[in-house]
Structure 1
C-alpha cells in the first residue's frame, strides 16, 4: 500500500485512481490527518506500507523527518515547481527521492522499487526448496523458471517470504495486499488468493510450502518442516 499525503483531495484522488489502474492499493490523507494517524499507527500497520508520497504542502520537511525517525519506509516528495533550495531541504530532511510533477504512477512505482532495492541489496530474494521469491516486484522462479503470478498472489508470496520466521494472520496479509482502509473488499478474499497460489506452487514444487494453522495464521515453510 502507498500512502499519499496532500492538501488537495482532487490531486490525491487522481493519484489513487492512477495507482489503482496499476493494481497498487493506496490510502490518502490531508497533512493534518496524516500526522495523527502516523504517530498512532502500530508496527503491524506500518508493515503494510510500501512508501509515502508527499505532495507539495507546508511542513512537508517535518513530516519527512518524522517518517525517517520512525521507519525505513521510502518517501517520495512531489514538487509542483522546480527549485534547487527546496529540493536540497527535502533531501536533508530525509526523503529518498524528489520528483517534478506531472509524473505517471508507473514511474513512482518504479522509483519506489529502486529505492527498496538499494536499501536491501542483501535481501533481494529468498530461496526455499527450489522456489526463489524476489523482494523487488519480480515474479518468483521455480527451479529457475519464472512463475507468472497476478499481482495480489505475488504480493502475498513476497509478504510471507519477508515474514518467514513467524506466522502472519489473514488480517496482516490483507492489510499488506489491499491496504488498511479498503472497505470495498472482504478480508476473506485472502483465502481465495492463497488457495490459487498454493495450487500453482504445489504444481511446480511437488509440495505445498504454505503452512496454515487455525487461529495462528500462515507461514512459508520448507518441505522438511511441512512433512514433520
Structure 2
C-alpha cells in the first residue's frame, strides 16, 4: 500500500516511516510544495486509493481543502499530538476522513485506511463473497470453496484492485498505477498480465466449479466476477 506522508518534523518522519513499513506500507514523503502542484493528476485511475497521512500543522486545513477542491477522493487522515475536539471537527468538516492522535501503531492505521477505502468502493464489511470466493480487505489471503489460497505480496496487491471493483472492468493501466505507480523501479506493464495469469490459475484451480473468476475484457482490462455477476456483501444481503 502506497501512502503519501506529510510530516515536516525530521525527528518524527524517520520513526513514522519505519512504523509504516513494518506493516508493509510504502510511505512516500511529500513537502509543502506538493499541495501547490497539479493535484488533479491524482484523479487518474489507479491513484484514487492512495491515502494521505498529514501531520497537524498550521496549513493542514488548506492542504485538505486543496486536495478536495482538485477533486481528489483519496483517503485523508490527520495526525495530531494531542486530542483537540475543535480542531478535529474542523479537519473532518474540511474533508478529512479520519483524525487520530499519535503515537499510533501501523496495524491500526492500516485498518483505518482499509475501512475508508472499502467504504468508498461501496463495501461496508471487511470482506465480500463473489461466488465461491471470500475476499478480505484487511490483508488476509482469500478463501475459495472453503480453502485458503496463498497469494504473494504483489499478487495480493493486484487481487485487491480487482476485488475493490468486483463486477466492473478494471483497466490494466489502472492496476499498474495502483501497484507500481510510485515505485522507483517500474517494470514493463506486461508484468500485470503475468501476475493476473498466476492469480487466475490459483483461484480457478481452488474453485469447485472451475469457474474463471477473472475475465480478460480485450481492449479494456480485467473483471473479477462470479458466473452470474453475483456480488454479495459478506455478513448481510
Q: TM-score range by the shorter chain?
A: 0.7 to 0.9
Residue 221 (structure 1) shift: 4.6
Please give the per-residue CA displacement for 1:34-83, whole angstroms capped at 9, x wherever unaligned: 3414234333153341x211013221012223444534432111113444
C-alpha contact 2:42 2:72 (8 A) present in aligned 1: no
Aligned to 1:52: 52
1:176 Cα offset (Å):
1.4
Partner of 1:175: 177
Find 2:213's aligned residue among 203, 209, 215.
209
Structure 1 residues without counterparts, runs of 5 or longer: none
With over 3 angstroms needed to count, the CA separation of the structure-2 counterparts of 1:185 and 1:71, relative to structure 1, is: closer
Match in the other structure for 1:79: 80
Q: Pick the structure with more helix per residue.
A: 1
1:112 aligns with 2:116: no
- In the superposition, relative to structure 1, how do residues 167 and 46 fare at CA in structure 2: closer, same or farther (>3 Å)? closer
Determine the C-alpha separation between the residues in 2 that align with 1:210 and 1:13.
40
For residues 133 and 59 of structure 2, the distance between their equivalents in structure 1, rounded to whole angstroms, comes to 45
1:151-199 superposed Cα distances (whole Å, 9 cap, x missing partner): 4322312211333322411x32122124x22122424543443333222
Q: Provide the C-alpha distance between the structure 1 equivalents of 2:26 and 2:73, rounded to a whole number of angstroms.
A: 19
What corresponds to 1:220 in structure 2?
224
What are the ranges of 5 or more consecutive residues in structure 2 without an aligned counterpart? 230-237
Which residue does 2:160 correspond to in 1? 158
Q: For residues 6 and 213 of structure 1, do their structure 2 counterparts lie closer, same or farther at Cα, with a shift above 3 Å needed?
A: same
Provide the residue aligned with 1:32 in structure 2. 33
Measure, in 1, the Cα distance between the counterparts of 2:150 and 2:162. 17
Mapped to 2, the partners of 1:45 and 1:128 lie a distance apart of 22
1:130 paired residue among 110, 129, 132:
132
User: What is the rounded CA distance, in whole Å, between the counterparts of 1:176 and 1:184 in structure 2?
Assistant: 14
For 1:87 and 1:47, locate their aligned partners in 2 and report how far apart those are by CA, in whole Å.
Answer: 23
Aligned to 2:23: 22
Whether the 8 Å contact between 1:6 and 1:31 is mirrored in structure 2 is no
Q: How does 1:3-22 map to 2 (within 5 A)?
A: 3-8=4-9, 11-22=12-23
C-alpha deviations, 1:89-121, integer Å up to 9, x for none? Answer: 223323222222222222211222233456545
1-side partners of 2:228 and 2:104: how far apart?
A: 48
